[in-house]
Amino acid sequence: MTSPYHGIIKEIVIKENSKIDEGEPLFIIQTLTGENKAIKVGIRGSVQSIEVQIGDEVIPGMVLTYVKDESFIIE
């Protein structure tokens, strides 16, 4: 998952190896205009790794986390 904004990581809501659901907020980014934006995921899956820390500056397209997509598990 990549950042859609230029700003600063204010909060990391998820933890590595945790399960996430579609629409769940993962990060809070404070944009250059001072707005706090929740970054949500569009898939269900598990967090493989978190690539940023609180206070890191991010730009659009920068990788925030790697998520294993588990939306279409066939049993």
Residue given tokens 């990788």 in the structure block: 63
What are the C-alpha distances in Å from 8 to residues 18, 32, 46, 75? Answer: 23, 8, 24, 40
- CATH placement of domain 7-69: 2.40.50.100
pLDDT digits (tens, 9 = 90+) for 9-32: 999 999 999 999 989 999 999 999
For residue 12, list its beta bridge partners: 27
Tokens of 25: 């907020």
CA distance 73 to 26: 22
CA 32 to CA 7: how far, in whole Å? 5
Per residue in 27-51, pLDDT (tens digit) is 999 999 999 999 998 889 999 999 9
